[in-house]
């Protein structure tokens, strides 16, 4: 091809390019899209792709990042009664695959992830019942206890369960664990026990709570404090509402416990405001039930054990002081609702049924032995004269109220005490 021919073809091509006008773009229409998908088996290949992805994620649910820990935003210190997002998340028992992978992401609408939960004081009376419920729900539970008042027998029935661990540890010393929630119960609750070594009691309340709040802060766990009606002291208001600040002797023999718990509440609130730790505060009123220490010195356990042993029931003072007794299963339900809900508290958890000690002795007589005797002893220092919870807040915010009356709950405790005292059957109480 000579030079002229080449030039001629180039100029021909150039003029063709200049003549070119692009196709006008068609407006998008629904039918157009359907036609496009149906052409060249496009729809078929898309469906195959979706099928493969679905299969892959259902076999490997934890392929994606672990679910972030429970990070519910908390409301104000005094929660808004209007926004009652109760949100009691029921964690149904999970299957073995999800149990093996605590952080596993699950398909929407299916089971919730099991949580990793520490229960300090979990070998004690209340703690062991809480542990039963959490394990039954499908969660992983680590009990941290120094066995001061707790007993291994209370949790023995979980030994061998791969979701259960028991650590002998004193909460006065720091501890590092990876968990989602901390139920902080570690503290002797019976006056006899907390007065036995008051310095240790206040250390447990202050340093123990500091350590557990520090742990919560470090790992981003939610923290629940089991405070007490003792923060109201010998109350001047009756019944006691959560906004009552109390009437407490700061230098008495009960102060290691009362003031200790008040400081523990302060610490919880300071960690919430200052370090964004999600906290919950339960103020627990007198609780009874199976697994109470037989000789732990509290009034219900004393009266029941004494009546069963055919000893006189020891009434301190004139017996006209009052208490409100709640059955342990009611309390555990309230604690779990508080932990899972949106409200910091403090929330009273107690049974408003109020009894004098003389009346309590009568109920124990009816339940165990109509011939049972009583004897009077001097009362202890700073003993509160009356106590009864106002549970309006728990009702409104948690949808909780106790279900079991003293006359219904006492026989359940008596069965357990009878077995343990007279060894009618071996093994742990239900
Ligand atoms: P409990 O004495 O049966 O249980 C307390 C548990 O904490 C025991 O297992 C004990 O060994 C453990 N513990 C104590 N000091 C510890 C430490 N330094 N380190 C680690 N573990 C330690 O008492 P409970 O009745 O189960 O009470 C549980 C919690 O509820 C306590 O915090 C108590 O103050 C609170 N509370 C209970 C009642 C009630 O009537 N049961 C009322 C108000 C508040
Ligand atoms: N109490 C009693 N006899 C007992 C033990 C206790 O009369 O054997 C009284 C005690 O004086 C108090 C009430 O029972 O008024 C509750 O005492 P407990 O130790 O059970 O709990 P508290 O509410 O004082 O922490």
Dist CA 81 CA 397 (whole Å): 7
H-assigned helices in 20-157: 30-38, 42-59, 96-100, 125-137
**Ligand 2 geometric centre to CA of 122 (Å):** 23
Q: Whole-prediction pTM value?
A: 0.79
Pocket of ligand 2 (CB under 6 A): 191, 286, 298-299, 302, 314-316, 321, 323, 357, 379-380, 383
- Residue 357 · residue 321 · CB < 8 Å: yes
Based on its alpha-carbon atoms, the radius of gyration of the chain, rounded to whole angstroms, reads: 32
Q: Which residue in this structure is represented by tokens 């107690």?
A: 350
**Ligand 2 geometric centre to CA of 315 (Å):** 8
Please count the other Cβ atoms lying within 10 Å of the Cβ belonging to residue 44: 11
Q: Which ligand is nearest to the CA of 282?
A: 1
Q: Which residue in this structure is represented by tokens 């006209």?
A: 320
Q: Does the Cβ of 187 fall within 6 Å of ligand 1? A: yes
Q: Whose CA is nearest to atom 19 of ligand 1?
A: 170
The closest-lying atom of ligand 1 relative to the alpha carbon of residue 172 is: 18
- Residue 128 · residue 154 · CB < 8 Å: yes
Dist CA 226 CA 237 (whole Å): 22
DSSP for 78-102 reads S--TT---------PPPPHHHHH-T
143 to 39, 100, 283, 396: CA distances (angstroms): 63, 19, 21, 31
SS3 419: helix
Q: Which ligand is nearest to the CA of 201?
A: 1
Query: Which residues, 6+ apart, have CB-to-CB distance to 250 below 8 Å?
Result: 259
Q: Which residue in this structure is represented by tokens 């290949």?
A: 45
Query: Could you list the pLDDT tens digit for every one of the 430 residues in the chain?
Result: 454 554 555 555 555 555 556 566 666 777 777 777 777 777 888 888 888 888 877 766 544 444 334 333 333 323 332 222 222 333 333 332 233 333 444 444 455 789 999 999 999 999 999 999 999 999 999 999 999 999 999 999 999 999 999 999 999 999 999 999 999 999 999 999 999 999 999 999 999 999 999 999 999 999 999 999 999 999 999 999 999 999 999 999 999 999 999 999 999 999 999 999 999 999 999 999 999 999 999 999 999 999 999 999 999 999 999 999 999 999 999 999 999 999 999 999 999 999 999 999 999 999 999 999 999 999 999 999 999 999 999 999 999 999 999 999 999 999 999 999 998 654 444 3
Q: Does the Cβ of 389 fall within 6 Å of ligand 1? A: no
Dist CA 333 CA 391 (whole Å): 14
Which domains does the chain carry?
96-289+326-352+383-404 (3.40.50.720)
**Ligand 1 geometric centre to CA of 107 (Å):** 39
Please list the active-site residues: 257
Dist CA 181 CA 297 (whole Å): 31
Rounded to an integer, what is the distance from CA 331 to the centroid of its chain?
Answer: 11
Q: Which ligand is nearest to the CA of 325?
A: 1
């Amino acid at each position: 091809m000579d030079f002229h021919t080449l030039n001629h073809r180039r100029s021909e091509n150039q003029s063709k390019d200049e003549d070119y006008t692009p196709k006008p773009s068609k407006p998008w229409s629904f039918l157009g899209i359907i036609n496009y998908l149906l052409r060249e088996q496009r729809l078929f290949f898309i469906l195959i792709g979706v099928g493969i992805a679905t299969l892959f994620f259902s076999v490997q649910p934890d392929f994606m990042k672990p679910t972030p820990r429970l990070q519910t935003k908390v409301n104000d210190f005094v929660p808004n009664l209007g926004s009652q997002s109760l949100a009691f998340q029921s964690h149904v028992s999970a299957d073995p695959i999800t149990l093996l992978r605590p952080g596993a992401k699950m398909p929407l609408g299916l089971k919730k992830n099991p949580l990793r939960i520490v229960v300090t004081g979990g070998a004690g009376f209340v703690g062991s019942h809480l542990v039963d419920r959490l394990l039954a729900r499908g969660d992983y539970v680590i009990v941290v206890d120094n066995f001061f008042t707790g007993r291994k027998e209370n949790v023995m029935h979980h030994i061998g369960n791969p979701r259960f661990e028991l650590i002998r540890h004193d909460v006065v010393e720091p501890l590092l664990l990876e968990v989602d929630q901390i139920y902080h119960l570690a503290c002797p609750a019976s006056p006899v026990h907390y007065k036995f070594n008051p310095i240790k009691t206040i250390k447990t309340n202050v340093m123990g709570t500091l350590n557990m709040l520090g742990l919560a802060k470090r790992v981003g766990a939610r923290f629940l404090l089991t405070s007490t009606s003792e923060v109201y002291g010998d109350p001047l208001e009756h019944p006691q509402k959560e906004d009552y600040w109390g009437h407490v002797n700061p230098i008495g023999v009960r102060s290691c416990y009362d003031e200790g718990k008040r400081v523990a509440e302060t610490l919880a609130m300071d960690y919430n405001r200052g370090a964004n730790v999600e906290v919950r505060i339960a103020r627990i009123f007198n609780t009874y039930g199976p697994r109470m220490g037989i000789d732990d010195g509290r009034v219900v356990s004393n009266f029941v054990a004494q009546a069963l042993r055919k000893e006189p029931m020891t009434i301190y003072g004139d017996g006209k002081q009052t208490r409100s007794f709640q059955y342990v299963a009611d309390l555990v339900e309230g604690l779990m609702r508080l932990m899972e809900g949106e409200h910091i508290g403090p929330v009273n958890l107690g049974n408003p049924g109020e009894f004098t000690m003389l009346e309590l002795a009568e109920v124990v007589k009816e339940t165990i032995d109509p011939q049972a005797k009583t004897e009077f002893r001097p009362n202890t220092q700073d003993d509160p004269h009356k106590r009864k919870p106002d549970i309006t807040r728990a009702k409104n915010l948690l949808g909780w109220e106790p279900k079991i009356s003293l006359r219904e709950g006492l026989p359940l405790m008596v069965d357990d005490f009878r077995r343990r005292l007279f060894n009618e059957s071996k093994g742990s109480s239900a």
